[in-house]
Structure 1
Amino acid sequence: MAAAQTQRPRTSASNTATWRDVTPAAVVLVGGPEDYLGARAMDRIRAQVRAVAPDVEITRLNAGSYTAGSLAMNVSPSLFGEQKLIEVDGLEAMNDAFLADALKYVVHPEPEAFLVLRHGGGVRGKKLLDAIKAAGWPVVDCQPLKKDAEKIAFVTAEFRAASRRIDPDAVHALVNAVGAQLAELAAACSQLIADATTGVDAAMVDKYYGGRVEATGFKVADAAMAGNGPLALSTLRHALATGADPVPIVAALASKLRSLAKVAGAQGSSSQIAKQLGMQPWLVEQAQREVRRWTPERLVRSIQVTAEADAQVKGLSRDPVYAVEHAVTVIATSARSS
């Protein structure tokens, strides 16, 4: 089996890689606070090294409890010629011994070793991070996916990588249902990819994850925004009776109304508006259809009522259930009668 070739530093100013496309190098920095993406990046590097060097010797170190000299000892050439993969976690809490050893190493790394460094964020070790970047080694930035558009892009890419189809409304439903934690969202993608015999549609997402609190909140919001007060209230009461928290339900109402408000004042085609607002074009088109049922005054009133409900369910009212019901009623009435 041919030995894996370590990547030499690039002289280009652009040495960034994504967690999806990073490749092994003598030194790779995986930085940023999103642990799930950091783990995926490290898994990818490890799998690629093992693919070309099955007998690779893997060592894991922690930068916070590091003992001086450990790095040099672990990267030293093996008697039997095996390549070395050293994974170092916890750089955000690195001690002085690791900082000193790593600063020396990244300038002259061992040619038959791969060093992968995981930094969870913060200013500790900035001198080392700057040295890695200046040397041209690959840097992966793992930031949290906070916006729905980023999570939608993540789900779409997961299915594309698996050569599986998922409908746009199913992507949206999945993000609504399990998008709070990226690891859960990724697990849900894996489950659907494994179980679906054809493509994935919204009905399948609802079957698997419709009982989640986040999904229930958006069911309430969808019914209210469609002007269907009875359905919105019955869904809301069932959710509350089965232990749902009013806070994410109000958050779902607010999210829907914010999308309408953004689109209502935007000019241009759906793709142009999507680019301006950082939304998916199909979500813009959906909001454009929905906003036709509203007058500006009723939209403003619904936003105000939802903001009041948000404050009330977070402690300003002794009856948060009434606050949510009132907001749902106002929204449904405004949509229906506009």
Structure 2
Amino acid sequence: MSALSDQLVTFAILAYLVAMISHAVEYALGNARKVPAAAPARELVGAGAGGPGGTVEEPATPAPTRPHRSAARAALAGRIAAWITVLAAALHLGAVVTRGIAAERMPWGNMYEFVLTVTWIGAAAWLAVLWKQPSLRRLGLFLTLVMVLLLAFAELKLYVQVVPLMPALQSYWFIIHVSTIIFASGIFLLGVVPAVAYLMRSGWEQGKRSFPYTLARRLPAAAGLERLTFTLHAFAFPIFTFAVIAGAIWAEAAWGRAWGWDPKETWAFISWVVYAGYLHARATPSVRRNVATWIAVVGFLTMLMNLFGVNFFFTGLHSYAGVN
């Protein structure tokens, strides 16, 4: 099962890569200009008056327009990308499940397994958003790019063989705390995609034409991206809050103190404060939306620091990543 999981991860990365390329084709061909169809001939209408011979020349009706052929190809590429993303997510889920079967436990015991599960949550949440709002499909280019980068990094740098869960993690709080952290992290992972897209698109709508704003001209409207960003963060934040509280309760039972400013705890608190700041800024009318969205992006950077930086550069009671 472990070998099967490894193979499924590889196939999932390839599928996400193909989906990303298909989205890139849609992105490149999309928003093609409409070209006029053949204009009808002008008609001479007998009116009994007017020019010589009693006829007048009636203006032709405006020629109808038809989508350029490249626009149809772009739509086809987008649909293909969406279905390939579904396939990639199915392969991804298979990799997570078979990893858990091989380990005979929940597959969250080290950094590799954590990243594997968080990225699947992000992909599954994206498919749910896409099903509800197909007009946001072009965000798939950025989501699949994130999937490829994170999964490739996990497989190349974080991979460890399947091992039993260490004694310190053998508690029912392991499932409660880690599952909620993973779920919230996956939603935050998805949430940063429309956040960055909104910052690019709003800059383009304000007249900025330099890189990277020129990339945003084919993204959905900024207002919709900003609403999606807020919805995802407002949904994930209470779950993340519960996960931090559950971790403190587990720490009290395991180490005799609820909070000790361990590096992992410290950065979790920093992330919580930043995301709380985003939601507060978003609810404050005097704070511009792009300022609030930048806070959300910073929040995700703190999550990355908590996931990668703490595990690589610090040692503490949460050193379970398998990379130190």
TM-score by length of 2: 0.26
Q: Which structure's residues are more often helix, by fraction?
A: 2
How does the TM-score come out when normalised to structure 1? Answer: 0.25
Higher relative contact order (CA 8 A, sep 6+): 2
Q: Which has the higher strand share?
A: 1
